Structure 1
Amino acid sequence: MVTGCGHKKIDFSRRLILWQLSVVLAFLFLNVVVVFSQDAQQVKGELQKANGIEKVDMLNKLAVEVWNSDRKLAYDYSVQALKGAEDIGYGHGRATAIKNMGVVKFFTGDYENAKKYYRQAYSIFDSLTDKKGMGACKHNLAYICHLQGEYQKALELYQESLQIDMELGDDEGIARSYHNIGELYYYLADYSLALKYFQDALDVFTRLDNKSKMSELIINIAAIYEMDGNIEQAIHRNQDALKIAREADNKWIEGMCLCNLGSNFIGLNEPDEALDYLIRAILVREEIDDEKGMMEGLQLIGKAFEQKDMVDKAIDYYFQSLKYSEELGDKRNTAETFTFIGMNLAYKKRYADAIQYFMQSLEIAEGIGARAEVLENYHQLAMVWSSKGNYDSASFYIQKHALLYDSISGKDIPLGLFKEEALLLDNNPLEKKIYTYRIIILIGSILLFALAVILVMVLRRK
């Protein structure tokens, strides 16, 4: 359980899992080109001797080799490959180069240009009847729709990509699709389906004995441990993943692992240790222009300062994170950050301002169907109206919270996913108050009904 600022405790670990899963899946789905284990320096040497189709293919290969460590170089290789392919009329090389340019734009947070390149590449792959390329572009487009809150569109594209992978018998593509579909269902709070798809993905990668992909899934396993309250095991898994990332010189995954470890120590209420990891994560992510990673890292730094009871500093970091999320068009993270700002304002007893931020968050969350964020905002609005002494408004949000929570928890979900909800009652007086109000409302309704029955009976006797 993560302690919030002051008198509040929130189900923060579930929220952290959403972005942890989100980030690792980007790495999974973007690796759509089969890359043979070959030293990059050797490839550069061979490049000088190559020409025509061979040279274009090598440039595209080099772009994939370096896009996790040097975005600019990866883009330059892709541009060179595109020019070479156009000069010799090599359609597949041209489509692959454009797709790779989209990947680099995605990594740097330029989603609109990434989508433009993916669509251009898809059109060329389609004209070549290259189903593998078509499936890869659909998958990449799906992921951006996913990040921008267009969940239904993302699901449709994922399913189309999965169908192509199945037709081709592409086991790695199938596993990648399973993984991303599972992550999407996680955002929609359909945890049973999310877990099914995660397990399906893990089964395929295990069958393929793909150590690289299995190691990437360590991060997801760590996230599940964190969700279940086993923080020490989550730390152990994330440290394993960090070691693998550094051995592979994968700065992107390294930054994510550092960020995850920061969130783990937040879960242990050790903000100083968390800040050590998070500041290192920010430095790595600045180095590779990872704007999404910056957004997430700054948000977690805000949380660490919350735990240190440095509320103004926490709010400052939340606003820095908010700037990135709005620029990226990341609606879910925008909603989430509005909620965190509102919580800190409520702690400062700036209730009217807090309510405005909660309502902004709620509007966005409802618009994209992010039920976990909707649930959190109902919870926070109930608490803040209760603090203002407006029990009618508090009871309104208590009831909305109860209805949505019951609709989610009524599904076939492992108990561990909701274990922290029960802990709230033991550790938070305000949570007890909310649930007390729910009981009072229920009992009051029963008493009113009974009184009405008695009055009817009395009137009939008269």
Structure 2
Amino acid sequence: MNKYFAIIAWAYMVFPLPGNTQTPNIDSLLQVYAYQPDDITRFSTLTHLINAFMYRDPERSMAFALQNLALAREIGSEKRESMANFHIGVLFNNQDQYDSAKIYFNQTYQLAMVTGDSSSLLLAINGLAVTNLNMGNFAAADSLNDISIEIYSQRNDNYLLAIAYTMKSQINQKQGNFNIAYNYALKGLRLMKEFDKPVRTADILLQIAVIEQELGNISNAIEHSKEALQIYRAHGDLKYQAQLLGNLGDLFIIQGNYNEALDLLQESAAKADSAGNPSNKAGALNRLGNLYMLRNQYNQARKMLDEGLEISSQIGDLPGKVKILNSLGLFYNETNNPQQAIQNLNQAIRISEQLNLRQDKSKAYLERSLSHENMGMHQLALSDFKTHKELSDSIFASEK
């Protein structure tokens, strides 16, 4: 699977929006904003505008967030400055700029400690947890998220607890603990059904679909993906449309429907571009590369994989990079260049060991065993295959 993802949109946690809809009418918000003085009365409107444009037009959302930060500093409100930093951190995270995101989440945390604002403090912890997850720092992400789970449980805050359970699911899914991940996602979905929050429900359906695919339940994965995609389209959420279109492309490849898969993956890459989300684009390019290999279009495959690798390297998306390196290993094996395959697979193994990506590491050892076999190095091939089998068996055992 491709990079998952930042799935949780924390900005919706900060100021609950009125009524039963996810966001107020954007035109109405803009009219109110146009006539408000540039003072404290604008904070609420700016916050709603940040949320409203976060996945529709990230650049515009960032402009409102920076204005919110400047206004908070101008009037000397550390509490509002803390929240403004948080919003900017979310936007940087959504653009895969994780180092920048961490800077603003740390600012949120430090200001919350000064003001004693427990809500801002918890948001900072959530932000740092999600950023660590996206960077592949799973132990740190899990520890931070467990703090959130404990606090939300004590407060009986089922809405935020549902989101924290979904993140717990993501952390386990990335490490190959699929049954554990599935159970946490179901717990999150049951809690979220208490609320009229269709986009947050779609986030959990997306996570369940990812796990269903990993478990080989393709029909269920398609069903959940289509349900979530319909919600994201209705709310103009480009980032997660891109991710779901990529997931669906994968599922149709498994079913052998290459033409429909091609259309979906090309749309996924285009949506990721529109959303300004390079990790989703790299994931779509990786899938396109694999699809072109299945169609024996190796020049196109190489072009897609090289572009995807460049993007994932530039943004520091190590989990996504591992998947593309494994795909390049397959590409070079299929084009009779096992030495080049081994170079890519060696990198994949190093990174997957560093991040504890057991499934990706297992795939890399399997593909490298084929490289060694093609070179007549039968002992090395056997050794790699045994390591692959041990990893595969350990993943299976942990899922019982």
Secondary structure in 1 matching 2:71: helix
Query: Which residue of the partner structure matches residue 17 of structure 2?
Result: 35
Query: Which residue of the partner structure matches residue 58 of structure 1?
Result: 45
Which of 208, 224, 243 is the aligned partner of 1:237? 224
Whether 1:46 and 2:27 are equivalent positions in the alignment is: no
% identical aligned pairs: 20
- Say if 2:8 and 2:163, in contact at 8 Å, map to a contact too: no
Deviation, structure 1 residue 201: 1.1
Q: 1:367 to 1:317 in 2, by over 3 A?
A: same
Describe the superposition over 1:29-64 as per-residue Cα deviations: whole angstroms up to 9, x where unpaired.
Answer: 453322333212212222344444331222122111
Deviation, structure 1 residue 234: 3.2
Distance in 2 (alpha carbons) for counterparts of 1:86 and 1:29 = 22
Distance in 1 (alpha carbons) for counterparts of 2:57 and 2:307 = 25
Query: Which residue of the partner structure matches residue 371 of structure 1?
Result: 358
- Mean CA deviation greater in 220-229 or 276-285: 220-229
Distance in 2 (alpha carbons) for counterparts of 1:187 and 1:355 = 24
Which of 88, 91, 99 is the aligned partner of 1:112? 99
TM-score by length of 1: 0.80
Distance in 1 (alpha carbons) for counterparts of 2:328 and 2:232 = 33
Query: Which residue of the partner structure matches residue 136 of structure 2?
Result: 149
Q: 1:27 to 1:254 in 2, by over 3 A?
A: same
Which of 336, 339, 342 is the aligned partner of 2:329? 342
Q: 1:81 to 1:218 in 2, by over 3 A?
A: same
TM-score by length of 2: 0.92
1:160-175 equivalent positions in 2, closer than 5 A: 160-175=147-162
Deviation, structure 1 residue 120: 0.6
Distance in 1 (alpha carbons) for counterparts of 2:158 and 2:200 = 12
Query: Which residue of the partner structure matches residue 5 of structure 1?
Result: none
Deviation, structure 1 residue 205: 0.9
Describe the superposition over 1:394-425 as per-residue Cα deviations: whole angstroms up to 9, x where unpaired.
Answer: 22112222222222212343xxxxxxxxxxxx
Whether 1:361 and 2:348 are equivalent positions in the alignment is: yes
- Mean CA deviation greater in 330-339 or 380-389: 380-389
- In the alignment, structure 1 segments of 5+ residues that lack a partner are 1-15, 414-462
- Say if 1:132 and 1:168, in contact at 8 Å, map to a contact too: no
- Say if 1:53 and 1:90, in contact at 8 Å, map to a contact too: no
Distance in 2 (alpha carbons) for counterparts of 1:402 and 1:294 = 32
Which one has a bigger Cα radius of gyration? 1
Which of 368, 372, 386 is the aligned partner of 1:385? 372
Residue 42 of structure 1 aligns to which amino acid in structure 2?
S
- Say if 2:199 and 2:232, in contact at 8 Å, map to a contact too: no
Whether 1:296 and 2:277 are equivalent positions in the alignment is: no
- Say if 2:359 and 2:391, in contact at 8 Å, map to a contact too: no
Query: Which residue of the partner structure matches residue 26 of structure 1?
Result: 7
- Say if 2:7 and 2:203, in contact at 8 Å, map to a contact too: no
Query: Which residue of the partner structure matches residue 279 of structure 1?
Result: 266
Q: 1:242 to 1:403 in 2, by over 3 A?
A: closer
- Say if 1:132 and 1:165, in contact at 8 Å, map to a contact too: no
Distance in 2 (alpha carbons) for counterparts of 1:54 and 1:411 = 54
Secondary structure in 2 matching 1:234: helix
Distance in 2 (alpha carbons) for counterparts of 1:92 and 1:168 = 22
Residue 25 of structure 2 aligns to which amino acid in structure 1?
D
- In the alignment, structure 2 segments of 5+ residues that lack a partner are none
Distance in 1 (alpha carbons) for counterparts of 2:151 and 2:27 = 35
Which of 122, 132, 137 is the aligned partner of 1:135? 122
- Say if 1:28 and 1:176, in contact at 8 Å, map to a contact too: no
- Say if 2:359 and 2:392, in contact at 8 Å, map to a contact too: no
Deviation, structure 1 residue 284: 1.9
Distance in 2 (alpha carbons) for counterparts of 1:385 and 1:101 = 48
1:213-252 equivalent positions in 2, closer than 5 A: 213-252=200-239
Query: Which residue of the partner structure matches residue 438 of structure 1?
Result: none
Query: Which residue of the partner structure matches residue 96 of structure 1?
Result: 83
Which of 174, 194, 198 is the aligned partner of 1:207? 194
Query: Which residue of the partner structure matches residue 189 of structure 1?
Result: 176
Describe the superposition over 1:206-253 as per-residue Cα deviations: whole angstroms up to 9, x where unpaired.
Answer: 234544322332223333443344434433432332222222122222
Query: Which residue of the partner structure matches residue 12 of structure 1?
Result: none
- Say if 1:262 and 1:277, in contact at 8 Å, map to a contact too: yes
Query: Which residue of the partner structure matches residue 431 of structure 1?
Result: none
